[in-house]
Amino acid sequence: MGKEARIALAGGGGAEDSRLLDEVFASWIGSQGRLLYLPIALRGIRSFESCLEWITTTFAPLNITRIAMWADLTEHQADELEEFDAIYIGGGNTYSLLAELIESGFDRHLKTYAQSGGIIYGGSAGAVVLGKDIRTVTYMDRNNIGLAEVNCLNLAKDHSILPHYQPEMDKLIAEFAQNYRRPVLGIPERSGVVIESDQMRTVGFEPSYRFDEQGKSEV
């Protein structure tokens, strides 16, 4: 048996909102660990220089300073992932993110990385693509590129992910869980969910929720 992946799913708030989750993630990496940052969901939304500045200032207090950023996956090979102790997939537009991962083949490479015991953090859109199905974000994200693919990387125990969760979304999420017969994790901005040793738990300032055909429960 290989090592099990460790997955962190953030609800999409700011650095202070995700602090408790970031601390867990940093503890997995260790102060000598190397972190790969993928900001590609923000292509055309924010400059990648400002993205690198943001992640650097977010993780410096947690002693994570060895950070590399890849802004274009076509320039990289799958075996380069082996150099990194963890990967951080940032937020932005979920559709363009999934499209770039598929077109570059890095959807498969990231799955392989996880299956060999890798550590992956997804923030907002990054969390959604680590789940099962992109359709959880149809009402909050624009599919300007006309992406038809709905399946994501499925690294969250067959759950689909809904970041920026608020209680008024409950009816929409319940309908999704019923219609697609697929459990959903609703993760608020001030929280996150970690998947480690086959266990799933909330890490954050607010509860996260699991929705399935039976209803809603706390993670």
What is the CATH code of the structural domain delimited by 6-218?
3.40.50.880
Q: What are the DSSP E strand ranges found in 70-198? A: 86-89, 119-123, 160-162, 184-186, 191-196
Rounded (10°) CA dihedral 154, 155, 157, 159:
-50
Mean pLDDT of 124-133: 98
Q: Report the share of the chain in percent with pLDDT over 70.
A: 99
Spatial separation of the C-alpha atoms in residues 188 and 13, rounded to whole Å:
8
Q: Report the share of the chain in percent with pLDDT over 90.
A: 96
Supply 84's token pair.
């990194």
For residue 139, what are the CA distances in angstroms to 39, 43, 135? Answer: 22, 20, 9
Q: Is the pLDDT of residue 2 over 70?
A: no
Q: Is the pLDDT of residue 12 over 80?
A: yes
Domain ranges of the chain: 6-218
Rounded (10°) CA dihedral 23, 28, 33, 37:
-70
**pLDDT for residue 3:** 80
Q: Which of 79, 67, 8, 5 is nearest to 32 (CA)?
A: 67
Q: Is the pLDDT of residue 208 over 90?
A: yes
